[in-house]
Amino acid sequence: MKNTSIRAASDKLIFALDADNYEDALSWVELLSGHVGMFKVGKELFTAVGPKIIESIKNKGQRVFLDLKFHDIPNTVARAAQAAVRLNVDMFNVHASGGSQMIKETVAASWACADKLGLPRPVILAVTVLTSLNKADLAEIGFSKDAGEQVLHLAKLAKNAGVSGVVASALDIAMLRAKFGDKFIIVTPGIRSAGAKIKDDQKRTLSAYEAVKTGADYIVVGRPISAVPEPLEACRQIVQEIADGLAAK
């Protein structure tokens, strides 16, 4: 039972593979394989090293979240998504503000591509409002709603267009869970435990325990694992917090 719950907890932990070169990225994958549920490949790493890091992660039997936040005309995003499906990524995301048509075409193209190749259909998430934007930033780019309303508006649009869930800040989990029900997938970065020693740029944070208890399906964690002296120990502690959060739900 204990092993089962630790396994279920580690499946919910996504490690942010924020390296700028292939060798460093691969050594994190080697260290953390089997201890986390997925590796997140973002813009920095993908731009620096390209698809070979995804192939290497998949060859080790691990899962990949391709965090490139696609946002372009529908045809371009649909085709980029098909390229992601061909790499057999398990999860990827698009900007909800690309609009319904972009999302619908992307979901349809991805499903068709996966089915044709006999691959599992990846989870497609939407990014609503970047957490770096405050009310003044939103007004500057012409959004009149406040951040919370804009998150809900874009999450609803994206859900109706076919995404399976959203990337959401810790502070929006409860609102999204209440509004969109249990099946809507919520992935939350900005995780910092109460006793965390590192001080950095993340402001609106929750602990792994609180995020999972509040309703996050997956949490994304980078520096609390990568920037501490004992990464594997930090990883194990976060998995234990997730298990405790699941048990407290």
Q: Which two tokens stand for residue 114?
A: 């996966």
Q: Which two tokens stand for residue 85?
A: 């499906």
Of positions 56, 97, 202, 207, contacts ligand C5P by CB under 6 A:
202
How large is the angle between the packed helices 231-247 and 2-11, nearest 10 degrees?
Answer: 110
Q: How far is the CB of 220 from ligand C5P (least distance, A)?
A: 4
Active site residue 135: no
Q: Does residue 241 belong to the site contacting ligand C5P (CB under 6 A)? A: no
Q: How far is the CB of 44 from ligand C5P (least distance, A)?
A: 8
Q: Which residues pair with 92 in a beta bridge?
A: 66, 124
Q: Does residue 16 belong to the site contacting ligand C5P (CB under 6 A)? A: yes
Task: For the segment 86-145, give every residue that binds ligand C5P (CB under 6 A).
Answer: 131
Q: How far is the CB of 51 from ligand C5P (least distance, A)?
A: 18
Which lies closer to ligand C5P via its Cβ, residue 78 or residue 173?
173
The piece of 54-62, 83-91, 140-148, 215-223 that touches ligand C5P (CB under 6 A) is: 215-223
Q: Which two tokens stand for residue 59?
A: 């060859």
Residue type for position 167 = V
* Alpha carbon distance 194, 59 (integer Å): 36
Q: Does residue 42 belong to the site contacting ligand C5P (CB under 6 A)? A: yes
Of positions 122, 165, 189, 215, contacts ligand C5P by CB under 6 A:
189
Of positions 15, 18, 66, 206, contacts ligand C5P by CB under 6 A:
18
Q: Which of 69, 104, 156, 179 is catalytic?
A: 69
* Alpha carbon distance 207, 224 (integer Å): 11
Q: How far is the CB of 73 from ligand C5P (least distance, A)?
A: 24
Residue type for position 116 = K
Contact predicate 73/47, CB 8 Å: no
Please report, to the nearest 10 degrees, the dihedral formed by the alpha carbons of residues 62, 66, 126, 81 taken in order.
-110
Q: Contact letters (x/-) for ligand C5P, 156-185, by CB under 6 A?
A: -----------x-x----------------
Question: CA separation (Å) from 74 to 13, 95, 101, 156, 209?
Answer: 31, 12, 6, 19, 38
Of positions 37, 122, 190, 215, contacts ligand C5P by CB under 6 A:
190
* Alpha carbon distance 174, 110 (integer Å): 29
Q: Which residues bind ligand C5P (CB under 6 A)?
A: 16, 18, 42, 131, 167, 169, 189-190, 202, 220-224
Catalytic residues: 69
